[in-house]
Amino acid sequence: QKEVEQDPGPLSVPEGAIVSLNCTYSNSAFQYFMWYRQYSRKGPELLMYTYSSGNKEDGRFTAQVDKSSKYISLFIRDSQPSDSATYLCAMNQAGTALIFGKGTTLSVSS
Amino acid sequence: EPEVTQTPSHQVTQMGQEVILRCVPISNHLYFYWYRQILGQKVEFLVSFYNNEISEKSEIFDDQFSVERPDGSNFTLKIRSTKLEDSAMYFCASSAPGQGARGNEQFFGPGTRLTVL
C-alpha cells in the first residue's frame, strides 16, 4: 500500500465552483499535514499547514484532517482561473522528510 | 517576503559528468532539504541537513550524491557521476527552528531542471 494516495485528476470546474481535493494515507504516525500548490515547472508553494486533526481556514481555502480515517481534504471556495495548478498533499512527523502525494491537477475555466 | 533561491534554473550535462546544484535558503532557517521530481512523478525526498551534518537521507541518496554548506548562505547538492535517470527537477527547501508546528513548515525554491544526455 502506498504511503500517500492522491487522485491525479485532472479536475475541471467552472469559475465560482467549490473544489474538494483529497488524500489518504497509511502511516498513523504522521502528525503534520500540508497542501502545496505547484504551477507547471515551478517549485511547490506552501498553501495550508495543519497539525493533527481538525480544520483550518485561510481565506477561500479550508484544510481538514481526519486522523481516525487517515484522510485529509482541501476545499477551495469561489474558485478562480488563477487557482488552476497542481495541488500536492504532503505529510510528516516533526522534522522529518515530507511524504508527498502525486498531486491533483485542477483547471478552473472562466 | 524571504524566499529560497536556486541556481541554475536549468542545467544540461553529459552522462558521467559531475554537477553541482546551488541553493540559498531563507536566512534564519537552520534545516535544509533536497527533493527531486521526475517528470510526471511524485516529489521525492533526498536528504535533510542540520547543524552541518546529514540528519536523514533516502535510498535514492547513494554514494553518487553529497551535500555541503560551504559558507553561511549556500547549500549545495553534488552529483558525482550523472546518469540518465538523474534527469529531474531538483528542489531545495528550508525550515526554521522552533517548537511544534511552526518549525516544521518547509519552504521550497523554484527548482533546478537537470537534463542528463
Residue A54: which region, alpha, beta or left (left: phi > 0; alpha: psi -120 to 50)?
Answer: left
Whether the CB-CB separation of A105 and A9 falls below 8 Å is answered with yes
pLDDT tops 80 at residue A8: yes
Q: Which residues pair with B31 in a beta bridge?
A: B50, B95
User: Residues A59-102: pLDDT tens digits?
Assistant: 999 999 999 999 999 999 999 999 999 999 999 987 789 999 99
B41 reaches A (C-beta below 8 A) = yes
How far is B19 from B47, CA to CA, in rounded Å?
Answer: 17
* pLDDT value of residue B103: 59
- pLDDT averaged over 10-residue windows placed end to end, chain B, 117 residues: 92 97 93 94 94 93 94 93 97 79 79 97
- For chain B, how many helices (H) and strands (E)? 0, 11
Q: Which of B7, B49, B34 is nearest to B90 (CA)?
A: B34
Of all residues in chain A, the percent with pLDDT exceeding 90 is: 81
Most B CBs within 10 A among A100, A102, A105, hence the mutation to make, goes to: A100
| Cα nearest neighbour of B30 on chain A | A95
**To the nearest whole angstrom, how far is the Cα of A79 from the nearest Cα of chain B?**
24
Whether the CB-CB separation of B105 and B95 falls below 8 Å is answered with yes
Around B25, how many Cα atoms within 13 Å sit in the side-chain half-sphere?
28
CA A20 distance to own-chain centroid: 9
- Give the one of B6, B43, B101 whose C-beta lies nearest to A88's C-beta: B43
How far is B59 from B45, CA to CA, in rounded Å?
Answer: 9
What does the block give as the cell for A82?
488563477
